[in-house]
Chains A and B, each alone.
Chain A
Amino acid sequence: MLTITNLHAKVENKQILRGINLQVNAGEVHAIMGPNGSGKSTLAGVLAGRKTFDVTQGEVLFEGKNLLELSPEARAGEGVFLAFQYPVEIPGVTNNYFLRAAVNAKRKYLGQPELDAAAFLRLVKEKMKVLHMPEDLLKRSVNEGFSGGEKKRNEIFQMAILDPKLCVLDETDSGLDIDALKAVAEGVNLLRTKDRGVLVITHYQRLLEHIIPDVVHVLYKGRIVMSGPKELALDLETHGYDPIKMGFTESAAV
């Protein structure tokens, strides 16, 4: 589904990604862990099409298409969804209006007819029920005045509505208390299907207690330096990132 080859990217002229290789297949959940500054959020931004991130080398194929050539909206149309680390507040735009615009934009991209108001409402109500979203959500402005937990849940809710093929979760656990974390994880688990790929980007292992990954990768200084089964996350929890930092430094020095 997603094939990243030798990906290099700069942010404000600083080299952040230095040759990432990653393959995510449909039905798999991959976790990307790493210390601060290792390039996790840059990778998420590059996949979603953030224009301040400058890809200098490498390739990203999504279902055979060159993702890097597409605008952010076209990537969404193709089925890539990024759950933001810091969801953006948009005062004056209701969730109802926003979601309907997003759903219909994607349908238009795929050559499908627009959903009318009634069909849209049915879809939204169904997903709201499944994810236990508050009743007044649709009338409220996008993320305005939401708590950290509400914002993250709203990201997962949008993901459920837009039904992407690839979900990229950028530090979705940051700033959440344990109840909010569980609610978010439950939402993601509901979206785990054999057709969907999930990339969970996180600093801490605790989210991975609730969203069990198939593969764990460790990102350090812009490269994946280690990959392994889910137990790798537990090792990192016990020993921290220091052994990796040291190992990386030593091997680099050799």
Chain B
Amino acid sequence: MKSMYTTAAPDLKANTAKWFDLLDRQSGDFASLRKQARSRFRELELPTARTEDWRFTNLASLQKESFSLAEKDAVQAEQLPPLAAPEAFRLTFVNGWFAPGLSRLGALPTGVALGSLAHHSADALSTHLNRIADAQEHAFTALNTSLLADGAYLIVDANKVLEAPLEILFVTKPGAKKPVTSPRLLIVLGANAQATVVERYLSLGAADESYFTNAVTEIALAESALLDHVKLQQESPSAYHIANTQIALAAKTHFTTNYIGFGGGLVRNEVRLRFDGQHAHAVVNGLYAGRGTQHLDNHTVIDHAQPNCQSHQVYKGILDDQAHGVYNGKIFVRQDAQKTDAKQTNKVLLLSDQATINTKPQLEIFADDVKCTHGATVGQLDDAQMYYLQTRGIPKDEAERILTYAFANDLVLRIKLQAIRDQMESCLMR
């Protein structure tokens, strides 16, 4: 009875009905995908504190925000970062919608297709879109698909190589309406195909403007394909960034992903990778840095479903002030997956007494002839190194920056694109 007299608290799930209606009036694309996803989304529970996979990440604040569906908006080209490489292709999305004027397409090699999902209807899209990411199990992925209207794709046919990197910018200009966007990216490489992709999230608003990025990236590599993937997460400190990157690797593929996340107020970055063929090789790295009250959760799942595959993960976190980091790394080695080589390392540097980290390796191994290692270290800046630098005249705050940079720079150096490396280095040295 009491509830009749109180206003119901804003509730993310209840709000979605409005977003769905509004979106349907703006875009008629992907109608059947949306319909399926919405019915599944209504059935799925959003994660709570009791959900094991979300134990250290409390979504109460996200649930209480009154988000609204993002509206189309314009930004100036000068507000965007310089190209990842002079020859790079670029696809820019503002508040979720493709912005051709801020993109750089140029002449594509034959056998390569890239662009906006909203303007494309190739068979390859329907074969793969929403087939790699799991909208059945993951509520936020189901929500992303429920709001699917635009996004980026890259399709490289068998034996073709995209030499120039493709850079995809997902830009949010939040304003006061607390927009929710559903960025979507699909990458499909045919047999022996190769590509380099930079996926980048940015905010062009005031630091206190709240918004919600709910991103899904799907990646499928056919036999012997090679993909170098970089994700840069530079959302505002008031942003919610929930992302699911799902990867399916065929035999003999080489996949690398380097995540660098310095932004976001509450971040949940998931990487879910499955080996579907033998002799495939995956490198999954992540570097995250937080200050203030940032909450940065990295969650990886590597599924060794086939024998003779390698997965190497290195995650490093730098946490200052009251920042909270989470690293949960699951590795499944199925019964048939003999000769699996799986390595996982998590290192955290705590720069303040109030910063915290929850780190949880989780290895489930059902094969008997495998090599699996994991290690986690949490530490502070080294006193002896600090003293040494100071005796050379370097002031304390600069010495701290130098040592913090030294902790993290091996992961920055793994990024092959010089321009991105330089930008990330200067972010780290700030």
B395 touches A93 (CB 8 A): no
A98 touches B392 (CB 8 A): yes
A71 touches B390 (CB 8 A): yes
Task: Tell me the complex Cα distance, A237–B166, Å.
Answer: 71
Which of chain B's residues have a CB closer than 8 A to the CB of A87?
A: 388
A side interface size, CB within 8 A = 28
B394 touches A90 (CB 8 A): no
Q: CB-CB contacts of B344-388 with A at 8 A, as 1s and 0s?
A: 000000000000000000000000000000000000000011011
Q: CB-CB contacts of A101-141 with B at 8 A, as 1s and 0s?
A: 11001100100000000000000000000000000000000
A248 vs chain B, min Cβ distance (A): 32
Q: CB-CB contacts of B380-424 with A at 8 A, as 1s and 0s?
A: 000011011111111110110011011101100000000000000
A101 touches B398 (CB 8 A): yes
B393 touches A84 (CB 8 A): no
A245 within 8 A of B: no
B326 vs chain A, min Cβ distance (A): 25
Name A35-90 residues within 8 Å CB distance of B. 48-51, 71-73, 75-77, 81-82, 84, 87-88, 90
Q: CB-CB contacts of A233-253 with B at 8 A, as 1s and 0s?
A: 000000000000000000000
Task: Tell me the complex Cα distance, A77–B396, Å.
Answer: 13
Which of chain A's residues have a CB closer than 8 A to the CB of B391?
A: 48-49, 72-73, 75-76, 81-82, 84
Which of chain A's residues have a CB closer than 8 A to the CB of B410?
A: 92
Which of chain B's residues have a CB closer than 8 A to the CB of A98?
A: 389, 392, 402
A90 touches B406 (CB 8 A): yes
Name the residue in B388, B390, B391, B396 with the highest tally of chain A Cβ atoms < 10 Å from its Cβ: B391
B406 touches A102 (CB 8 A): no
Smallest CB gap from B394: residue in A: A105
Which of chain A's residues have a CB closer than 8 A to the CB of B394?
A: 73, 101-102, 105
Name the residue in A49, A92, A93 with the highest tally of chain B Cβ atoms < 10 Å from its Cβ: A92
Q: How many A-B residue pairs have CB under 8 A?
A: 71
Which of chain A's residues have a CB closer than 8 A to the CB of B402?
A: 93, 97-98, 101
Majority SS at the chain B contact face: helix
A143 vs chain B, min Cβ distance (A): 9
A91 within 8 A of B: yes
Question: Which of B387, B406, B407, B409 is the one whose CB lies under 8 Å from A72?
Answer: B387
Task: Tell me the complex Cα distance, A130–B384, Å.
Answer: 29
Question: Which of A51, A71, A91, A102 is the one whose CB lies under 8 Å from B392?
Answer: A102
Given contacts A50-B387, A84-B388, A87-B388, contact A92 B395 (CB under 8 A): no
B side interface size, CB within 8 A = 21
A156 within 8 A of B: no
B385 touches A102 (CB 8 A): no
Task: Tell me the complex Cα distance, A50–B387, Å.
Answer: 7
Task: Tell me the complex Cα distance, A93–B403, Å.
Answer: 8
Name A193-237 residues within 8 Å CB distance of B. none
Which of chain A's residues have a CB closer than 8 A to the CB of B398?
A: 101, 105
Given contacts A92-B406, A92-B409, A93-B402, contact A71 B396 (CB under 8 A): yes
A169 within 8 A of B: no
Task: Tell me the complex Cα distance, A88–B381, Å.
Answer: 13
B385 touches A73 (CB 8 A): no
Task: Tell me the complex Cα distance, A48–B396, Å.
Answer: 15
B393 touches A90 (CB 8 A): no
B318 vs chain A, min Cβ distance (A): 13
Task: Tell me the complex Cα distance, A97–B425, Å.
Answer: 13
Question: Which of B384, B393, B405 is the one whose CB lies under 8 Å from A73?
Answer: B393
Task: Tell me the complex Cα distance, A74–B250, Å.
Answer: 59
Which of chain B's residues have a CB closer than 8 A to the CB of A106?
A: 393
A162 within 8 A of B: yes
Task: Tell me the complex Cα distance, A81–B399, Å.
Answer: 17
Which of chain A's residues have a CB closer than 8 A to the CB of B388?
A: 84, 87-88, 90
Which of chain A's residues have a CB closer than 8 A to the CB of B393?
A: 73, 76-77, 102, 105-106, 109, 162
A105 touches B395 (CB 8 A): yes
Given contacts A50-B387, A105-B398, contact A92 B392 (CB under 8 A): no
B421 vs chain A, min Cβ distance (A): 14
B405 vs chain A, min Cβ distance (A): 7
Which of chain A's residues have a CB closer than 8 A to the CB of B390?
A: 49, 71-73, 76
A158 within 8 A of B: yes
Task: Tell me the complex Cα distance, A90–B388, Å.
Answer: 9
Task: Tell me the complex Cα distance, A81–B391, Å.
Answer: 7
Which of chain B's residues have a CB closer than 8 A to the CB of A92?
A: 405-407, 409-410
Which of chain B's residues have a CB closer than 8 A to the CB of A97?
A: 402
Beyond A76-B391, A88-B387, A105-B398, 6 additional pairs, beta carbon < 8 A: A71-B396, A76-B390, A76-B392, A90-B385, A91-B406, A105-B393
Q: List 23 A-B contacts (CB under 8 A).
A: A48-B391, A49-B390, A72-B387, A73-B390, A73-B395, A75-B391, A76-B390, A77-B393, A84-B388, A88-B384, A88-B387, A90-B389, A90-B406, A92-B405, A92-B406, A97-B402, A98-B392, A101-B392, A102-B389, A102-B394, A109-B393, A158-B392, A162-B393
Chain B positions within 8 Å of A, measured between CB atoms, are 384-385, 387-396, 398-399, 402-403, 405-407, 409-410
Top 9 closest pairs, chain A to chain B, by CB:
A92-B406, A76-B393, A72-B390, A88-B388, A102-B392, A106-B393, A105-B393, A93-B406, A73-B390
